[in-house]
A and B are shown apart, each in its own frame.
Chain A
Amino acid sequence: EVQLVESGGGVVQPGGSLRLSCAASGFTFDDYAMHWVRQFPGKGLEWVSGIRYNGRTVTYAGSVKGRFTSSRDNAQNSLYLQMSSLRPDDTGIYYCAKDIMHSSGDSFDAWGQGTVVIVSS
């Protein structure tokens, strides 16, 4: 059974940093691209970042580019999102999601339960 478990969320002040982790199991992690998707309170989904199976190509939404860094450790079956210069409008639930492909596509067939990030003073 595919499992994705996010951790690392919490409350942080504006301008602060946070590192999210996603532990994957139940599939060959290094065969698939991975993504971060967030959901603002009571609102829709926003794609944040995608990383190829080998970690060599990472893409970001314009709203986070230059502030967030996604990485992966295939030996540890883990995905990470380093978030810096956080703003109140970064508040939301952050999901990691598994792509159906090696390369960074747009079909996500497994999702974690999400971790909550609150940016507030």
Chain B
Amino acid sequence: SSELTQDPAVSVALRQTVRITCQGDSLRSYYASWYQQKSGQAPVLLIYGKDIRPSGIPDRFSGSSSGDTATLTISGAQAEDEAAYYCNSRDSSGDLVVFGGGTKLTVL
């Protein structure tokens, strides 16, 4: 079982804002990273650290954190944002890496 908990599925209307959350005790001490995985493709890093986007990631993706919960916000969701989204971070010991179970985003 994962030490990071995500909602299995979320939906959003086109061009609206959606928040995807990731909850876990280790997030009180460590930042989460966020990945997007489209069907049949490898994951892509969207956000890491406090709210850092790698080059090429649109600025409609942003990250935040409060307490034991990290949040990925997509402001103005596009049809191409339909994908699975995963968070990861350290486990409670700080030694290992854990992924959340993933959230399947549907854009309506």
Chain A residues in the interface with B (C-beta under 8 A): 35, 37, 44-47, 50, 59-62, 95, 100, 104, 106-109, 111-114
B residues near A112, Cβ cutoff 8 Å: 42
Closest B residue to A46 by beta carbon equals B99
A residues near B98, Cβ cutoff 8 Å: 47
Number of B residues near A (Cβ < 8 Å) is 25
Chain B residues in the interface with A (C-beta under 8 A): 2, 30, 33, 35, 37, 42-45, 48-49, 54, 84, 86, 88-90, 95-102
**A109-B45 in contact given A44-B86, A45-B102, A47-B88 (Cβ < 8 Å):** yes
B44 & A61 in contact (Cβ 8 Å cutoff)? no
Minimum CB–CB distance for B45 against chain A, Å: 5
Closest B residue to A45 by beta carbon equals B99
Closest B residue to A106 by beta carbon equals B97
Sorted nearest first, the 7 A-B pairs with minimum C-beta distance are: A107-B48, A111-B42, A47-B97, A44-B102, A107-B33, A45-B99, A106-B97
Alpha-carbon distance between A108 and B98 when the two chains are bound, in angstroms: 12
B42 & A106 in contact (Cβ 8 Å cutoff)? no
